Amino acid sequence: MSDHTDLLVIGAGPGGYACAFRAADLGMTVTLVDARDRLGGVCLNEGCIPSKALLHAAEVIREAAHMADWGISFGAPKIDLDALRAKKDDIVGQLTGGLGGLAKRRKVTTIKGTAQFTGANSVDIDGKELRFDKAVIAVGSAPVQLPGWPDDARIWDSTAALELREVPKTLAIVGGGIIGLEMATIYSALGADVTVIELADQIAAGADPEAVAILRSALETQGVTIQTGTQVQVVKATKAAITLTCTGVYDGQIKAGAVIQSVGRRANGDKVGADVAGIAVSDRGVIAADDAGRTEQPHIFAIGDVTGNPMLAHRATHQGHITAEVAAGHRAALETVLIPSVAYTNPELAWVGLTQAQAKAEGRKVKTTSFPWAASGRNLASGGGDGLTKLVYDPDSGRILGGTIIGRNAGELLGEITLAIEMGATLEDIGLTIHAHPTLSETVAFACERALGTLTDL
């Protein structure tokens, strides 16, 4: 490899490869380093993409069973775990292989290795020195490991869970955030008896409680047991099972054939020798960066999970584009707080912007409006269950400030609300925009019409 590059990007996840490709498009000589055999980071290799492939399989299983109510029966599914695993891996391979091709076409030099800073303008990559003019730290995050737990192959993190090693008869998931709930959706559809244990009083922390109540009810109908306000105190592994002793709202023991730890992720900022380059790292592995991605060293940037919450791939990608442009001499910055969140459960839960609870905590005067999916023709005609589209708006101007959707394809529908908030749209702007009928997107317009007093569908 060359001993010098204009821009060094450490980490080839959604933020890293997006940054590298954008910088190359802007004329920079770029080197992209990652320890994995394939580009794509956690998201493509062991996170977003494999989980969505398995969630699709879970959705098909549930849809097939649901069609019995419509007079169409398929019988019990026969699940070939090896074939399902191979299909998931094939999808991952297609996407990561495509990234390799894009890197070659852009003349981005890719190196498989582990980079460690040796100074403010140099790194060591497995024994070889590389000097750079500018660098981007995009090394992501790793699952949090709970202390004091036994070392047992039946205790998985999210990465191990997506390897689909087996479908245990009983599965306990510690943590009721997005990842934990998605794992519950997958494994319950595949036949496991799933229990979710969440320390907080609500699963999907931060989301609208009314929407979360709908999600919880749906998951429980699917056979998932949810224990909120509950803490795991003791974990014991025997040949027969993993036993979790819990206290709180649920006080007792839960025995499971396997356990998934899903209590969040920790930034990897302390794994690249950032301090040698003059960059401070917090005790949670986070590297501070401004809205242009710059760290304490103006020529070294940080993007994605390594900069802290929200740890989401689309945030990292957007930061990657911005940082590449700044590094190439352009003016750019992350000037939005609108980072959409989606739980790809069944039904999906998606939200963006200000929630009613946040507004109350901040002392802001807001109003809400909503439309129940029980009155959506498209939802009912497609066999959809309970759902809701809910908007938070300014009562004086009518400007949209936030939105939550619970229902089928909620993540796809959220884009309209996100754009509306970015554009400063009001209830009238959306309510007077003609939406195709029958569609789920109509529920956004209907929620606006309800607040305006013009709704005729309720």
Closest CA to 16 of 141, 164, 128: 141
Cα 313 from chain centroid (whole Å): 7
Neighbours of 208 (CB within 10 A): 26
Q: How many CA atoms lie within 13 A of 340 on its CB side?
A: 23
The phi and psi torsions of 239 (rounded to 5 degrees) equal -60, -35
Beta 341-343 vs 225-227: how paired, if at all? unpaired
Closest CA to 139 of 329, 235, 275, 270: 270
| 437 classed as catalytic | yes
List residues bridging with 174 in a β-sheet: 197, 261
Catalytic residue among 4, 56, 435, 437: 437
Instruction: Specify the DSSP element, H or E, that contains 21.
Output: helix 14-25
Amino acid at 156: W
Amino acid at 69: D
Alpha carbon distance 39, 311 (integer Å): 19
What is the biggest distance separating any 2 CA atoms in the chain, rounded to whole angstroms? 70
Active site residues: 437
